[in-house]
Structure 1
Amino acid sequence: MSDVTDTDRAGSPKEAVGRYGIWSVGLRSDDSADRSELADSAAELEQLGFGALWLGGSSETRHAVPLIEASSHIIVATGIQSIWQHEATETAAHFAHLEKAHPGRFLLGLGVSHAGLTERYHRPYSAMVGYLDALDTAGVPAGRRVLAALGPKMLELSRDRAAGSHPYLVTPEHTARAREILGDAPLLAPEAKVVLDTDPDSARATARDTLSRYLALPNYTKALQQFGFTEDDFADGGSDRLVDALFAWGDDDRVRARLESFHAAGADHVAVQVVDGGPRDALPRAAWRRLAELLR
């Protein structure tokens, strides 16, 4: 086991990712016919000023290649790659190949996924420790990986064995607690969802369409319960209180203020996911342009 040192963090992507990035399942398309639009999207998101592209869902290192090749400096990260999908030696080989071709452009986001999504799920914390040990042995720098951490133990592992943490489905209150655990140096890059709709009923309905799938996963609900949410909040796709805590919706000022609240709580970077009720693998380019404008 090797802890992250100040030297390791000197080469980490904390400064390079900037204040905001884009999180999208669509950015990890496997369809070669989509590569042209993926390339155009990556180049445009870089021009719009976003600092990182997060390959949403159960992504893989190879998904980063067309985005990196189409851009010049934006960081591309897996958000996240499940440790159950690929052996550490395979991940390390892919990382080394990408790093040689495009030094400093890729950030390896790793997570343990959920018991209901993989048959191999067992002792997730110990499995992550073993995976990081293997990456260390294979030469993947600790300062070039982040962990999808929700609870204290995984956050401590993010602090000690990675460049930081990329928590998903969290509130600014979780961000504040995560910062306390991480300390000042590690990267804290929470994901945050945005619905660009000013009507409360339709905005919350759109949010619930996305939220409902996550409320069936105990890792998320247990984490939310630590911040005062109850089983009543998880019923029927989520209470108004829960939706409003997890989704930024409303006019530009309200959305901007909600995203900025993550920074006020201690985030270095916010990975913004646009939720519009369309297919999860779509590329909502018009919404990304509007988002870039309101965040300027």
Structure 2
Amino acid sequence: MSTPVKEAVGRYGIWSVGLRSEDPDRRGELAEAAAELEELGFGAVWLGGSSSAAHAVPLIEATSTLTVGTSIQSIWQHEPDASGAAFAELESAHPGRFVLGLGVSHARLAEQYRRPYSALVSYLDGLDAAGVPADRRVLAALGPKSLRLTRDRAAGTIPYLVTPEHTAHAREVLGEGPLLAPELAVVPETDPVRARALAREFLEFYLSLPNYTNNFLRHGFTEEDLKDGGSDRLVDALFAWGDETAVRARIDAFFEAGADHVALQVIDGEPRDALPRKTWRDLAALLLD
């Protein structure tokens, strides 16, 4: 019997687009990075972009205890039966090491995007039929309906680009049992102007996606906060930046709001598929020593 997801992922994880690279020339680099993250003490890595079980394989093979999850696998890109087959194959080879993180993505990114909530419910029905247990899948839930669906049909939620206030709301909806594992972007910069500039450069794309902007509006922000790359108030709520004390305080705010696990994404101005291993080490020294 595998360890429950909530226990397996530990308190801290790393969220990364780079770790899902399909470039065969980078396979050794990815394996080395994953092994180091495990050695540093991180409990999980979450593969950004539209990732799948196939992207998790090289990282799982390179480690012995690290949990690897998709964050997220788009329901529009993989049929439930294919997802079930991939899950079963990976589970057979490495029991308890993979978590299927699912989401509806965005209308701008998926041509088929229609009635996303109903589509997600149907997808979960398909996963049930394909033998993927509810306690090994998590949902990228933002709104109340999706959070209730998480509570009833998944092991937990992996919300992206959220605030501690959203985390508190999510915990209230979920109750104590399900995993609540928000992603949090960390900008390793102490200068306010530079830190906020890096954050706004990253945030620009997401401010064009209604799923995120509607969520900000639900949790106390205004249309003014969404203009010009995001207000200081919005940026400071969504990103951890500053010295070690400030970064630690921002991370701790999510735990105080009810998070079980925080998935840290480094935003440093480098390409998104880079592996910011020095900053990962710095975060480990700050959080895991």
In which range does the TM-score fall when normalised by the shorter chain?
Answer: over 0.9
Offset, 1:11 = 4.9
Does residue 156 of the first structure (1) align with residue 148 of the second (2)? Answer: yes
Unaligned segments of structure 1, at least 5 residues? 1-7
Q: SS of the residue aligned with 1:193?
A: strand
Match of 1:78 in 2: 70
Offset, 1:228 = 1.4
Offset, 1:50 = 0.4
Match of 1:189 in 2: 181
Match of 1:4 in 2: none
After TM superposition, the runs of 4+ consecutive aligned structure 1 residues lying more than 2 A away are: none
Q: Which of 210, 234, 259 is 1:267 aligned to? A: 259
**How much is the aligned-residue C-alpha RMSD, in angstroms?**
1.0
Does residue 49 of the first structure (1) align with residue 41 of the second (2)? Answer: yes
Matches within 5 A, 1:279-290: 279-290=271-282
Aligned-partner Cα distance in 2 for 1:251–1:123: 43
Offset, 1:227 = 1.3
Match of 1:146 in 2: 138
Does residue 242 of the first structure (1) align with residue 234 of the second (2)? Answer: yes
Aligned-partner Cα distance in 2 for 1:184–1:77: 21
Aligned-partner Cα distance in 1 for 2:67–2:128: 22
Q: SS of the residue aligned with 2:273?
A: coil
Q: Which of 160, 167, 172 is 1:168 aligned to? A: 160
Aligned-partner Cα distance in 2 for 1:60–1:236: 34
Match of 2:60 in 1: 68
Q: How many residues align?
A: 288
Aligned-partner Cα distance in 2 for 1:39–1:143: 27
Q: Which residue identity lines up with residue 229 of structure 1 in the other structure?
A: F
Match of 1:21 in 2: 13
Match of 1:222 in 2: 214
TM-score for the superposition, normalised by structure 2: 0.98
Aligned-partner Cα distance in 1 for 2:232–2:50: 28
Q: SS of the residue aligned with 1:236?
A: coil
TM-score for the superposition, normalised by structure 1: 0.96
Q: Which residue identity lines up with residue 151 of structure 2 in the other structure?
A: R
Match of 1:277 in 2: 269
Does residue 199 of the first structure (1) align with residue 194 of the second (2)? Answer: no
8 Å CA contact 1:52–1:75 kept in 2: the answer is yes
Q: Which of 245, 257, 267 is 1:253 aligned to? A: 245
Q: SS of the residue aligned with 1:245?
A: helix
Q: Which of 109, 113, 119 is 1:121 aligned to? A: 113
Match of 2:100 in 1: 108
Aligned-partner Cα distance in 1 for 2:108–2:66: 34
Offset, 1:12 = 2.6
Aligned-partner Cα distance in 2 for 1:290–1:213: 27
Match of 1:5 in 2: none
Matched-pair identity in %: 70
Q: Which residue identity lines up with residue 237 of structure 1 in the other structure?
A: G
Q: Which residue identity lines up with residue 114 of structure 1 in the other structure?
A: H
Q: Which residue identity lines up with residue 212 of structure 2 in the other structure?
A: Y
Q: SS of the residue aligned with 1:271?
A: strand
8 Å CA contact 1:11–1:143 kept in 2: the answer is no
Match of 1:59 in 2: 51
